[in-house]
Amino acid sequence: MQSGSEKHIDVARLQADVAAAGVELLSAHCAADRIRLQYSPKDIVNFGEPNTLKKAIASSRALCRFFGVLEAQMTNIEDSGR
């Protein structure tokens, strides 16, 4: 697999994709907040569909790992510029 510095990147497309993902993530965050504010964690676990909850938890963990990698890369770049 090639790193970003070794292959041609369509920067405009990348920026548009990141912006679109940001909007989708904001929508998901709002949906999670609506559930969080309306129901207790106990009720969500007791009455929510277990497979749906497991998939949502797995997705949120994957997002956290992905954005953690991006955050670390940004920190490395910022630190090397000092």
pLDDT tens digit sequence for 57-77: 999 999 999 999 999 999 999
Determine if the pTM surpasses 0.75. yes
pLDDT tens digit sequence for 3-56: 555 789 999 999 999 999 999 999 999 999 999 999 999 999 999 999 999 999
* Residue 1 in this model has a pLDDT that exceeds 50: no
CA 51 to chain centre: 20
Alpha-carbon gap, residue 78 to 56, rounded angstroms: 32
